[in-house]
Structure 1
Amino acid sequence: MLIHPWDAAGEEQALAYVRAHPFGQLIASGRGRDVPVVVPTQYLLADDRTVLLHLARPNPVWAAVEENPKVLLSVAGPWAYVPGAWRAEPGTDPRLGVPTTYYSSVQLLCHAEIVTDDAGKLEILRAQLADLEPGAGDPARMARLLSGIRGLRLAVEEIRGKFKYDGHKDAAHRARVAEGLSGRGGPGDDAALRHLA
């Protein structure tokens, strides 16, 4: 992903975003494939360098991970289209403004470890449930279902964060765009406004 200096997120900001948006795309390239395997998945950022998740045993990602344990977890959240007229410089023809899209995206480059033993899978399930559904009880009660899943422990090796919100523009420019976003109230506009603030 192209990351301009003004869009770059620091590690702390990127990890906070990953924690706040625990659903992404796991991408495993494998070896010698025409296209990578891409799996939408819930995950848990257990600590700054560990991601935990589980998937169904028949998932095609397992073969790709076995071929090549280097994977990418891509997380992107709400986006907001910004019309060119909102970005035109004051006093110029609004049709000359360049449109863009505001968005946040973090990519974690990881080394994947497949977890097949019941104790390891239960450890992952306990951590995920404690985060997503505290008080749900011990997943060991569903032990008969463990054979239908495998776990993944991802060791984070590199963090790439991009927060594209006209960071290279001045405050007056961003205020003009914020005014447009506030008036429109589209699906990703509130998230964009929080970043502009």
Structure 2
Amino acid sequence: MLIHPWDAPLDDDEWQRWLATHDFGQLAVNGLPGHAPYIQPMHFVYDPKPGAHGEIIAHLARPNPLWQAVEADPHVLLSVVDDYAFVPGPWQSPADTPTEHGVPTSFYAAVQLRCTAHLVDDPAQKADLLNVQVGHFQPEGGSAPAAVGTAPYGPMLSGIRGLRLEVTEVRAKFKYGSHKQQDVQERTAAGLTERAGAHDTAAHAHHLRRRTSGPTRA
């Protein structure tokens, strides 16, 4: 992923705050010899505390075909992308350029976490992982806790494997045109507001925040 200086996070807090509310991504695992990589969509919980870059907590079904690949090579990558929007060319044309000469682009936020995978098969540890995940995704409660030997979830623990992904490197990008001229940024902001598409509100918020928070650019 190419990251220009103007698209880089302002600090670690920026991508960590974003990741705390974007907890569904794609886990990429190196394929076995002669096989393509495995890509697994999954929910996860990010814990920023353990280690230098934090830890990802997740679980997957035991029959999942990626386990053999993870055991062969535990170096994996979790990719999270959201808050994206297509920006039409006319919004991007500078004041001294015909609008039809504007160059379309994409706005998006992306965080890529390189990790070392640690598999969790101990039943009690798997129950702990499940309880952390349910506490994150279902803070209102309503579900029985997972515990070994206790219904309803204890008997189901053998059907899953847990994942602790030790984050070793983080690459984050917030591509929202913060290096563009002021008139272009204003036109883009107005366009996102008027269009009001599915992701335009989130992209507009990033666009304004990066204009306010980031360094002054020509």
Displacement of 1:47 in angstroms is 2.6
**What residue in structure 1 maps to residue 145 of structure 2?**
138
Distance in 1 (alpha carbons) for counterparts of 2:205 and 2:83: 12
Alpha-carbon offset, residue 33 of structure 1: 4.0
In structure 1, the gaps of 5 or more residues are none
Asked which structure has the greater RCO (Cα within 8 Å, sep 6+), the reply is 1
Query: Are residues 1:195 and 2:195 paired?
Result: no
Partner of 1:71: 76
Contact 2:94 2:183 in 1 (8 A): no
Q: Percent identity?
A: 44
- In structure 1, the partner of 2:55 is 50
Q: Give unmatched runs, 5+ long, in structure 2.
A: 209-218
Runs of 4+ more than 3 Å apart: none
Measure, in 1, the Cα distance between the counterparts of 2:138 and 2:197: 30
What SS does the corresponding residue of 2:185 show, helix, strand or coil?
helix
Query: 1:148 corresponds to which residue?
Result: 159
Amino acid at match of 2:103: V
TM-score (norm 1): 0.96
| 1:24-44 per-position Cα deviation (integer Å, ceiling 9, x unaligned) | 001111442431100000000
Between the two proteins, the alignment pairs up a number of residues equal to 197
Encode CA deviations 1:59-89: one digit per residue, 9 max, x unaligned: 1121111010000000001311000000001
2:178 to 121, 144, 167: 167
Task: Give the alignment's TM-score, normalised by structure 2.
Answer: 0.87
Within 5 Å, give how 1:60-99 maps onto structure 2: 60-99=65-104
Contact 1:84 1:94 in 2 (8 A): yes
Across the aligned residues of Structure 1 and Structure 2, the Cα RMSD in angstroms comes to 1.2
CA distance in 1, matches of 2:134, 2:197: 32
Superposed counterparts of 1:35-46, under 5 Å:
35-46=36-47
Secondary structure of 2:6's match? coil
